[in-house]
Chain A
């Protein structure tokens, strides 16, 4: 069922002057399960073509056999599966020993493709295929989807790609800061790169093919001589050359994305993010296919494909050829073919009105009908009908190309480009190799001059010499850009006949299987705008994105709608210029995490980790209920290092605190701490925490763990923008300290055993005070007597390097007291029993201060604080939801957090926190309820996730355990 095996390398020619294959290095690889020989330097496609393979794929919709068209990375007929990698450009990827290569979109085999029956059903797959077919009846959609999936583009990705080499290989990223980035390594691009580098610029040259050189590579002896000279100069000038790499896009301020497809080292691909002072676009030209019946048959090739195959890979493209030519490239292809012994049966000169009407044959070209009615037998039809300037990057820099009918192509309007973007080479116009190099040199020098000007303006340190930059004694250039564009002169587009289609209909977009007839139907159906017709037919939507076919699409639409090509206009090229893997964009999986200095201990003692933002924290050590009970009975210690900490110093700190917190701060004495709540200007609760006054002008502020970064920014915002005159110095010290909360009735006893220099007696160190002293021999510790858990407790902040030591000392000294660590879960139980709210859990993005039971804290009699007007209005209205304690009527059912409270069909609140209280042996909750339900004793209805309704009663206060705070104040 597979293709008959041709003679090995039967189509290989004798050595060619510019060939890139190494005949000394011969190996074999596999194509659809069969072994084929190849030479080092061969692409997969050139190796197969050398072995007589003509069919490389089946087309997307009609499953027509497809061969080589461009023999380059753009070839629409040569997308293949290489090992586990789908959608590989077979005419670009180099062959290597043992490669397992398969065709895509074929079943059961490339030669006898079952899906090619689609050809008979073409009616259903014509213009608007996607929109008309398989729409009704809707209930059959799942079945249709299965059918459609069989016809999609693309190969197969492995089920679990992560299992394959995931450790050893990765997608890489890199930054680059070239003065001059040259996109395209043809003669003009190489000349520009050399000129810029010789002038002193750091130059990055990006070339999509495996070696720079552009069309010089398949040219004559003089071309090859120049090529060797340019390569020598590029290397001597110190230009960084990236081959098999492509510029994906140009963004603001010359932010240029480049993907290296085969970087050295272990990376699959590397995304290079370059900031270039000057971007030189030297992207060249792309040869256009011609539209006629049979133009997609294997054996129909562009002249550049023939020239590549013959001159680079020494492959005979066919035995008997017809050449349709309108330019020098077609003439040269005909000459190449004659030179290597291919029988050129006819040269059809389109410059003299001659034409090709159709090509036909099964599985490939067998004969061609010419405009004069002659029928010529052949297996190769070469077309050379014009060029497309690769203006995509210039487009992305704001340029709109202009159509030049006499040259039959869109060219860039250079005057609309920013000074930081210049163009050279084929994208600008045509010229001899000397003219291209001369233009490239002038543009490269100017690119360097502009880069030098930018370097001078930005005061680059250390300064560099710019030996080749004129006008500043060989050092610095005048920073003003050149008044005239350097790229506007020297290269103009040559006259060329406007050849788009012949007398018959053929394929316009070979990726998407769109014909000229489809475009006409789209216009007839009313899709007469180019953008609509493109989307309706999907022309230019395939992997080549219009690079080959855009002018043909525009030309046919123009003709059908009676407009000019300029009026229809070309597509707006957007990034990415070339298809890019998601892996290259995603890069490596690097997710930094934060650990406290006690992490090792937690891990060794069975802590179950909790991911809290970037922090990994112990959720519990096996039994959170027991951990909570131990805090109520004995003493527990918890690692609270992630709590945000800001060191505030200066004479105006009290003013700052008064502004940012809703409560009062001016009378906080040295040695005291106070709980504070911050609201935003819309009155919404932002953060909370305690702040202690360590000295006259010295405070330590704590924030929620998740709010640490945001509060720091918030403080800076107010200080820098509203009160730059206030003298406050802010230092974030979150990770400078390890923080431990020592909680429980025996916490004082434990603290007394390890603390020196602080009198811990209740009278000397009462509730809501701060002291500084030494713990377990560690000086400069800060001790707050506060009580998030509702128990007598001390929160200690110790220099982080001693965190583990202090943690271990507390455990060692408290063994007889029953000291045990507790995790976040136990802390959440304890604080819920105590009715302490958690910002972000019991409040959300619209919870204003009075909806968080903060009436006691909000001091509207302060003249001003952030959010005061909104809070005043909220209080005045009085209709706001309230945060209340809720006791489920069924003491054994804990309604999950987030449950709605309902009143008939209305939602009247929600459960914000809920747990089973080990102290009370019942379910307890906090919840936000509508104003009319906030009275203690009110019964509310809770809707459980399974839809069942249950009741809860509004409690007297948020705290269920020790509402008076007696345990805290002992």
Chain B
């Protein structure tokens, strides 16, 4: 089980968290057409390598936070930190 670093609580078991997926910028609801809006709803990059994802510390501080995770190695690092993975 992954050990996730909650910015508020420190390292905790992944089972304490809910995975909230890749953060997607919300399109302007006034101008977005169906294609753009549904991309926001359903399309995720699901990259092999470093991804940015959102977690919710459900059984802890109840904060949403973002973290970078390498989907190939399960390495974790703070957003914007780290020493340059393959996609940096």
Q: Chain A residues in contact with chain B, CB under 8 A? A: 251-253, 255, 275, 458-459, 681-682, 713, 716-717, 720-722, 863-864, 868-870, 873
- B40 partner residues in chain A, CB cutoff 8 A: 681
User: In chain B, what residue has the closest Cβ to A873?
Assistant: B34
- Most chain B beta-carbon neighbours within 10 Å: one of A682, A716, A869, A873: A869
Q: How far is the CA of A713 from the CA of B54 in the complex (A)?
A: 13
Q: How far is the CA of A870 from the CA of B34 in the complex (A)?
A: 8
Say which residue of B3, B18, B30, B37 sits within 8 Å of A864 (CB atoms).
B30
Min CB–CB distance A174 → chain B (angstroms): 14
Q: How far is the CA of A645 from the CA of B86 in the complex (A)?
A: 47
Main secondary structure of the interface of A (DSSP, over half): helix
- Chain B 64-85 near chain A by CB (<8 Å), digits 1 or 0: 1000000000100000000000
Within B8-48, which residues are at the interface with A (CB < 8 Å)? 10-11, 13, 18, 20, 23, 26, 29-30, 32, 34, 37, 40-41
- B64 partner residues in chain A, CB cutoff 8 A: 716-717, 720-721
The 6 closest A-B pairs by CB, nearest first: A253-B3, A255-B1, A720-B64, A252-B2, A864-B29, A869-B29
Say which residue of A458, A682, A722, A869 sits within 8 Å of B11 (CB atoms).
A458
Given contacts A252-B1, A275-B3, A870-B37, contact A717 B29 (CB under 8 A): no
Q: How far is the CA of A252 from the CA of B2 in the complex (A)?
A: 5
- B74 partner residues in chain A, CB cutoff 8 A: 252-253
Given contacts A255-B3, A717-B20, contact A869 B62 (CB under 8 A): no
- A870 partner residues in chain B, CB cutoff 8 A: 37
Cβ A716 vs Cβ B13 within 8 A = no
Listed by A's residue number, 25 A-B pairs whose Cβ atoms lie within 8 Å are A251-B1, A252-B1, A252-B74, A253-B1, A253-B2, A253-B74, A255-B2, A255-B13, A681-B26, A681-B40, A713-B18, A713-B58, A716-B56, A716-B62, A717-B20, A717-B64, A720-B63, A721-B54, A721-B64, A722-B26, A864-B29, A869-B29, A869-B32, A869-B34, A873-B34
Q: Chain B residues in contact with chain A, CB under 8 A? A: 1-3, 10-11, 13, 18, 20, 23, 26, 29-30, 32, 34, 37, 40-41, 54, 56, 58, 62-64, 74
Given contacts A252-B2, A255-B3, A275-B3, contact A717 B41 (CB under 8 A): no
Cβ B3 vs Cβ A863 within 8 A = no
Cβ B29 vs Cβ A868 within 8 A = yes
User: In chain B, what residue has the closest Cβ to A459?
Assistant: B10
- Most chain B beta-carbon neighbours within 10 Å: one of A252, A716, A717, A863: A252
Q: How far is the CA of A253 from the CA of B40 in the complex (A)?
A: 32
- B3 partner residues in chain A, CB cutoff 8 A: 252-253, 255, 275
Known: A717-B20, A864-B29, A870-B37. 4 other contacts (CB 8 A): A255-B3, A459-B10, A682-B41, A716-B56
- A681 partner residues in chain B, CB cutoff 8 A: 26, 40-41
Q: How far is the CA of A870 from the CA of B27 in the complex (A)?
A: 13
Min CB–CB distance B84 → chain A (angstroms): 18
Q: How far is the CA of A441 from the CA of B68 in the complex (A)?
A: 37
Q: How far is the CA of A873 from the CA of B13 in the complex (A)?
A: 42
Cβ B2 vs Cβ A721 within 8 A = no
Q: How far is the CA of A73 from the CA of B2 in the complex (A)?
A: 31
User: In chain B, what residue has the closest Cβ to A398?
Assistant: B73
Q: How far is the CA of A272 from the CA of B2 in the complex (A)?
A: 17
- B18 partner residues in chain A, CB cutoff 8 A: 713
User: In chain B, what residue has the closest Cβ to A724?
Assistant: B64
Min CB–CB distance A863 → chain B (angstroms): 7
Say which residue of A252, A255, A713, A722 sits within 8 Å of B56 (CB atoms).
A713
Cβ B30 vs Cβ A863 within 8 A = yes
- B20 partner residues in chain A, CB cutoff 8 A: 717
Min CB–CB distance A733 → chain B (angstroms): 15
Q: How far is the CA of A721 from the CA of B66 in the complex (A)?
A: 10
Min CB–CB distance B44 → chain A (angstroms): 14
Say which residue of A251, A255, A275, A869 sits within 8 Å of B37 (CB atoms).
A869
Q: How far is the CA of A870 from the CA of B41 in the complex (A)?
A: 11
Q: How far is the CA of A312 from the CA of B48 in the complex (A)?
A: 53
- B30 partner residues in chain A, CB cutoff 8 A: 863-864
- B11 partner residues in chain A, CB cutoff 8 A: 458
- A253 partner residues in chain B, CB cutoff 8 A: 1-3, 74
- B37 partner residues in chain A, CB cutoff 8 A: 869-870
Min CB–CB distance B23 → chain A (angstroms): 7
- B34 partner residues in chain A, CB cutoff 8 A: 869, 873
User: In chain B, what residue has the closest Cβ to A864?
Assistant: B29
- A863 partner residues in chain B, CB cutoff 8 A: 30
User: In chain A, what residue has the closest Cβ to B11?
Assistant: A458
- A251 partner residues in chain B, CB cutoff 8 A: 1
Q: How far is the CA of A717 from the CA of B37 in the complex (A)?
A: 19
Given contacts A722-B26, A864-B29, A868-B29, contact A717 B1 (CB under 8 A): no
- A717 partner residues in chain B, CB cutoff 8 A: 20, 56, 64
Q: How far is the CA of A720 from the CA of B61 in the complex (A)?
A: 12
Min CB–CB distance A343 → chain B (angstroms): 56
User: In chain A, what residue has the closest Cβ to B23?
Assistant: A721
Q: How far is the CA of A873 from the CA of B58 in the complex (A)?
A: 34
Min CB–CB distance A641 → chain B (angstroms): 22
Q: How far is the CA of A916 from the CA of B23 in the complex (A)?
A: 48
User: In chain B, what residue has the closest Cβ to A255?
Assistant: B1
- B62 partner residues in chain A, CB cutoff 8 A: 716
Q: How far is the CA of A452 from the CA of B26 in the complex (A)?
A: 44
Q: How far is the CA of A458 from the CA of B4 in the complex (A)?
A: 12
Q: How far is the CA of A213 from the CA of B61 in the complex (A)?
A: 45
Q: How far is the CA of A523 from the CA of B48 in the complex (A)?
A: 36
User: In chain B, what residue has the closest Cβ to A719?
Assistant: B64
Min CB–CB distance B66 → chain A (angstroms): 9
- A252 partner residues in chain B, CB cutoff 8 A: 1-3, 74
Q: How far is the CA of A257 from the CA of B5 in the complex (A)?
A: 21
User: In chain A, what residue has the closest Cβ to B74?
Assistant: A252
Min CB–CB distance A701 → chain B (angstroms): 17
Min CB–CB distance A938 → chain B (angstroms): 30
User: In chain B, what residue has the closest Cβ to A257?
Assistant: B1
- A682 partner residues in chain B, CB cutoff 8 A: 41
Q: How far is the CA of A716 from the CA of B56 in the complex (A)?
A: 10
Cβ B26 vs Cβ A275 within 8 A = no
Q: How far is the CA of A870 from the CA of B26 in the complex (A)?
A: 13
